[in-house]
């Protein structure tokens, strides 16, 4: 389904359903809550990158409740990245098909049936004010349900379906907001807002270590696509397309053109590899037309899954992307990474890898994409991204690549 369709359904169908279920919830007898979570379901449907941001909270959950069994409920398209994170076993990944409304309903009902059969007693709803996830959480039948609450803020209605409504704090990184739900499990739910405690969280992510043969295979695929590429040539990987979900996050393609030209002028022995799904081809086409150089390698559509992207970034000397999923993939590697933020804010959503740096102009109107507007901004002129100077990115790249290959212009 298109994101506009999902927003419309969530608003016009989700709101009345939440209202009806909230009435049922108030009239229904209170179910006995377990002394500790035993069968846990984490709902994190839409954002692939958020799965990496949730990893520290899953680690905290396992430390607190080592006997608990943890499952994830996600959109089917995010399965491969969750597998790569090794947060749960393969059979603990439950999928919802969001390609159509019928597929969504059928797969959601199947997951709800499974939740009841397996006796889910605790749900952590990591979605940001989605009515669909609140409804799914309630219909699992779990007696303990954590979810984000706006408390007395207007709008963002999701009913009163959470037993532990956790305060969504816009001044804390989203990884800490996720951890607040874990913390709320051992707090008195009557002490609102929840939880009344400072969150201490180890946000480090383990690095993915690909098999040498996987890296060799990726290097060979690169050489087939760029026949003049030498084995020792430093690679700079770019992911210019930010996806159709939030295309406003993209850095202008004209800036990528300027960056690549300046990089090639400064360094002879360097190659730039452009990646993306096939849908990125139209956005990136001006770059390939403007820079006619064998050192620029078109690798769009040549990564078959998330593991391929991670292997490619492992081979790179640098990785550069606007805020999107790939910088979170890069956080699993040691490769220096630059993430360009604008409509959203690195204080909330920066990738957790210690190899990732961010650029954010902090304009008065930015971030304009938030949980409080369901990530639907009226902006048609993303000056927060257009204002990021290509020269600034070029200097960053040259600093990281070192001065050895530099020559005067």
Tell me the C-alpha distance between 350 and 176, whole Å: 12
| pLDDT tens string 179-202 | 999 999 999 998 989 999 999 899
Catalogue the long-range contacts made by 30-35 (C-beta closer than 8 Å, 24 or more residues apart).
Answer: 31/143, 32/143, 33/121, 33/143, 33/144, 33/163, 34/121, 34/122, 34/143, 34/144
**Which carries the bigger pLDDT value, residue 304 or residue 70?**
70
Largest CA distance in the chain: 77
Residue pair 345/366 in contact (Cβ under 8 Å)? The answer is yes
Residue pair 268/292 in contact (Cβ under 8 Å)? The answer is no
Q: Is 210 helix (H, G, I), strand (E, B) or coil?
A: coil
Residue-level pLDDT at 244: 63
pLDDT at residue 155 is higher than 80:
no
Global confidence as pTM: 0.90
Residue pair 173/348 in contact (Cβ under 8 Å)? The answer is yes
The token duo for 112 is 């709800």
| pLDDT tens string 358-380 | 999 999 999 998 888 877 888 99
| pLDDT tens string 73-128 | 999 999 999 999 999 999 999 999 998 999 999 999 999 999 999 999 999 999 99
Residue-level pLDDT at 282: 93
Residue-level pLDDT at 409: 37
10 Å CB burial of residue 267 (0-12, 13-18, 19+) is buried
pLDDT at residue 407 is higher than 50:
no
| pLDDT tens string 324-351 | 999 999 999 999 999 999 999 999 999 9
| pLDDT tens string 251-291 | 999 999 999 999 999 999 999 999 999 999 999 999 999 99
Work out the percent of the chain whose per-residue pLDDT is above 90: 75
**Domains present along the chain, CATH in parentheses:** 3-184 (3.40.50.2000), 212-401 (3.40.50.2000)
Tell me the C-alpha distance between 205 and 202, whole Å: 9
Full 3-state SS string of 338-352? EEEECCCCHHHHCCC
Q: Is 145 helix (H, G, I), strand (E, B) or coil?
A: strand
């Amino acid at each position: 389904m298109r994101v506009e369709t999902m927003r419309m359904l969530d608003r016009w169908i989700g709101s009345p359903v939440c209202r009806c279920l909230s009435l049922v919830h108030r009239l229904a007898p209170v179910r006995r809550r377990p002394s500790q979570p035993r069968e846990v379901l984490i709902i994190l449907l839409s954002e692939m990158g958020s799965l990496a941001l949730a990893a520290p909270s899953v680690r905290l959950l396992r430390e607190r409740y080592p006997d608990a069994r943890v499952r994830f409920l996600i959109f089917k398209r995010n399965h491969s990245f969750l597998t790569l994170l090794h947060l749960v076993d393969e059979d603990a990944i439950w999928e919802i098909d969001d390609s159509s409304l019928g597929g969504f309903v059928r797969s959601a009902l199947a997951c709800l049936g499974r939740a009841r059969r397996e006796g889910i007693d605790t749900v952590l709803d990591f979605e940001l004010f989605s009515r669909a996830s609140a409804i799914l959480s309630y219909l699992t039948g779990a007696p303990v349900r954590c979810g984000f609450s706006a408390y007395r803020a207007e709008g963002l209605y999701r009913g009163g379906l959470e037993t532990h409504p956790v305060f969504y704090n816009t001044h804390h990184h989203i990884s800490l907001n996720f951890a607040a739900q874990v913390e709320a499990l051992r707090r008195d739910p009557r002490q609102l807002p929840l939880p009344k405690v400072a969150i201490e969280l180890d946000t480090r992510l383990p690095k993915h270590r690909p098999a040498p043969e996987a890296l060799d295979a990726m290097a060979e695929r690169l050489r087939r696509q760029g026949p003049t590429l030498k084995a020792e040539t430093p690679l700079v990987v770019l992911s210019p397309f930010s996806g159709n979900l939030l295309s406003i996050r993209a850095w202008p393609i004209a800036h990528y053109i300027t960056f690549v030209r300046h990089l090639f002028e400064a360094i002879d022995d360097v190659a730039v590899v452009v990646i993306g799904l096939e849908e990125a081809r139209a956005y990136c086409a001006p770059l390939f037309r403007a820079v006619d150089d064998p050192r620029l390698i078109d690798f769009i559509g040549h990564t078959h899954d998330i593991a391929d992207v991670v292997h490619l970034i492992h081979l790179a000397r640098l990785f550069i992307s606007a805020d999107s999923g790939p910088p979170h993939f890069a956080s699993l590697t040691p490769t220096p990474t630059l993430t360009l933020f604008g409509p959203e804010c690195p204080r909330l959503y920066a990738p957790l890898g210690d190899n990732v740096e961010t650029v954010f102009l902090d304009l008065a109107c930015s971030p304009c994409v938030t949980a409080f507007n369901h990530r639907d901004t009226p902006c048609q002129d993303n000056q927060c991204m257009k204002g990021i100077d290509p020269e600034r990115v070029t200097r960053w790249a040259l600093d990281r690549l070192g001065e050895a290959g530099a020559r005067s212009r």
